[in-house]
């Protein structure tokens, strides 16, 4: 870890003064919220030799309010709009083509995705050959590959950056409000006219609208406490009205059994939540940027951003493997009913269960190491005894002569070779190679 921190500190020290470090901080913060949120929401339950994949939001309605905090997709697109606007403008000023710019932006996204897909193809084949039920394999893989849907939508938004940025430069905030109007019309057609097919267009209208807010942030339209508070108040009022007076549910992520989902496809409450997040986070931008000028918080931000795609893409795969290990170790931590309030603390329970369930495994490994250690020690001792006897015989066969002007008896030569061996056997002195390693048995 010290090596990673040192490398991050080196990169952090080279950061130009013109860089907005708060952009990188929000990216890291949102990744952390995604990981924590997914691990809390997951509610696998094991009993009777079977495992069921469920969702805390389905069994404990009070947790749905937490999605207003942990649904951070709007922050991703806000930060993406800021960084894509800066990147595209820089590429245009340098005379780079659209293809060159797009290739550089997509290379960082698609490479890790292909690696994730390859691993899950192998895991799926392995589980299938091992006799795992196809429904379980499908459920595990779907859970682990959830992050990819976001990247698919984000890539579509990146593809049209030249058009959206040109619209921003020409029309400013009007380019945002036009998309808001289109999203409102789309929801009306989806809910009132029952045209469910057109509802999927809100993937474009809502997320491109949030992306436009990133351009607005870059140009100072949302900066400052007053402006940020105004955006947050507008979004908060709209959000509360829609979930209390309108047909929309409280949860900002899909809940099994709900007729309407605010995220699949995205609905107007998601756009209102984006305004809340944008206003609140940008209202404290000034003090946060001053704080990030310090070495430690900025180095930590650089460290997280250096592994951000890995963490984002693989955190659910890690969760899936942990659940599988817990299941194999006697349902460790998986016996809490999804309707129990303790379910929110499931990650800690699984960790404790894995620690306890791995105890017998560790004990067996220690026993095997101890057996190998005793075998190696016995072999070494036998070899040393053999060498000692050989030296004794050799000493007895040598002709007696002078050494250093004095005569030494043949018996002394034999004792000189045999005495240290006897002391070792008595346990009074260590062997030349050090004391044999002792391994405690559990």
Per residue in 248-265, pLDDT tens? 999 999 988 888 999 989
335 and 385 housed in the same domain:
no
124 and 172 housed in the same domain:
yes
Which pLDDT score, from 0 to 100, does residue 223 have?
Answer: 77
| Range of lowest pLDDT (2-11, 93-102, 116-125, 425-434) | 425-434
Instruction: Count the neighbouring beta carbons within 10 Å of the beta carbon of residue 118.
Output: 10
Which pLDDT score, from 0 to 100, does residue 433 have?
Answer: 43
Identify whether 366 is part of a domain. no
Q: Which of 327, 357, 387 is the last residue of a domain?
A: 357
- Cα end-to-end span (Å), the chain: 31
Identify whether 363 is part of a domain. no
Identify whether 232 is part of a domain. yes
46: confidence class by pLDDT, cuts 50, 70, 90: confident
330 and 376 housed in the same domain:
no
| pLDDT score of 68 more than 90 | yes
Indicate the length of the chain as a whole number.
442
Please give the residue that has the higher pLDDT: either 46 or 399. 46
427 and 342 housed in the same domain:
no
Identify whether 365 is part of a domain. no
* CA proximity to 319, closest of 311, 307, 331: 311
205 and 338 housed in the same domain:
yes
Buried residues in 344-358 as b, exposed as e (16+ CB within 10 A): bebeebbeebbeebe
Yes or no: say if 228 and 280 are a contact pair by the CB < 8 Å rule: yes
280 and 328 housed in the same domain:
yes
Per residue in 199-229, pLDDT tens? 899 999 999 999 999 999 999 888 788 999 9
Range of the domain at 175: 2-357
Total tally of structural domains belonging to the chain:
2
Which pLDDT score, from 0 to 100, does residue 99 have?
Answer: 94
Interatomic CA distance for residues 95 and 190, integer angstroms? 43
Identify whether 364 is part of a domain. no
Which pLDDT score, from 0 to 100, does residue 320 have?
Answer: 81
Q: Which percentage of the chain shows pLDDT scores above 90? A: 43
Give phi and psi for 250, each to the nearest 5: -75, -40
* CA proximity to 209, closest of 77, 106, 87: 77
167 and 288 housed in the same domain:
yes
What pairs with residue 406 in β-bridges?
403
Per residue in 315-355, pLDDT tens? 888 888 887 777 777 666 676 666 665 555 555 555 544 45
Identify whether 406 is part of a domain. no
391 and 252 housed in the same domain:
no
Which pLDDT score, from 0 to 100, does residue 322 have?
Answer: 82
427 and 282 housed in the same domain:
no
Identify whether 405 is part of a domain. no
* CA proximity to 144, closest of 130, 125, 123: 123
Which pLDDT score, from 0 to 100, does residue 49 have?
Answer: 67
**Strands 402-403, 406-407: pairing kind:** antiparallel
Structure tokens that stand for 420 in this block: 């240290």
418 and 320 housed in the same domain:
no
368: confidence class by pLDDT, cuts 50, 70, 90: low
336 and 391 housed in the same domain:
no
Identify whether 362 is part of a domain. no
295 and 426 housed in the same domain:
no
């Amino acid at each position: 870890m010290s090596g990673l921190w040192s490398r991050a500190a080196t990169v952090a020290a080279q950061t130009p003064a013109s860089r907005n470090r708060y952009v990188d901080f929000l990216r890291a913060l949102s990744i952390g919220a995604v990981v924590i949120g997914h691990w809390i929401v997951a509610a696998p339950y094991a009993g009777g030799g079977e495992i069921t994949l469920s969702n805390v939001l389905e069994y404990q309605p009070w947790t749905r309010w937490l999605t207003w905090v942990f649904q951070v997709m709007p922050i991703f697109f806000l930060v993406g709009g800021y960084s894509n606007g800066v990147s595209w403008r820089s590429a245009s000023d340098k005379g780079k083509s659209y293809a060159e710019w797009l290739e550089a932006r997509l290379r960082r996204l698609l490479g890790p995705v292909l690696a994730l897909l390859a691993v899950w193809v192998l895991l799926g084949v392995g589980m299938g050959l091992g006799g795992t039920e196809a429904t379980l394999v499908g459920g595990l893989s779907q859970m682990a590959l959830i992050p990819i849907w976001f990247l698919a939508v984000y890539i579509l938004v990146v593809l049209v950056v030249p058009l959206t940025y040109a619209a921003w430069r020409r029309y400013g905030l009007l380019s945002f409000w036009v998309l808001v109007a289109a999203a409102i019309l789309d929801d009306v057609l989806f809910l009132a006219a029952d045209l469910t097919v057109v509802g999927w267009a809100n993937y474009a209208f809502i997320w491109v609208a949030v992306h436009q807010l990133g351009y607005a942030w870059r140009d100072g339209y949302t900066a400052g406490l007053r402006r940020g508070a105004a955006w947050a108040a507008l979004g908060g009022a709209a959000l509360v009205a829609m979930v209390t007076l309108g047909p929309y549910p409280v949860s900002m992520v899909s809940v099994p059994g709900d007729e309407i989902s605010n995220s699949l496809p995205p609905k107007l409450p998601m756009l209102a939540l984006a305004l809340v997040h944008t206003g609140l986070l940008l209202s404290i931008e000034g003090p946060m940027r001053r704080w990030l000028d310090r070495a430690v918080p900025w180095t930590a931000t650089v460290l997280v951003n250096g592994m951000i795609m890995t963490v984002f893409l693989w955190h659910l795969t890690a969760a899936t493997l942990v659940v599988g290990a817990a299941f194999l170790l006697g349902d460790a931590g998986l016996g809490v009913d999804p309707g129990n309030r303790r379910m929110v603390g499931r990650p800690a329970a699984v960790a404790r269960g894995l620690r306890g369930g791995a105890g017998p495994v560790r004990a067996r490994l220690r026993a095997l190491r101890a057996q190998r250690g005793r075998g190696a020690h016995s072999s070494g001792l036998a070899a040393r005894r053999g060498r000692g006897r050989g030296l004794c015989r050799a000493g007895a066969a040598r002709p007696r002569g002078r050494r250093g002007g004095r005569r030494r008896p043949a018996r002394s030569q034999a004792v000189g070779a045999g005495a240290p061996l006897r002391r070792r056997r008595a346990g009074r002195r260590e062997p030349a190679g050090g004391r044999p390693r002792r391994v405690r048995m559990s």
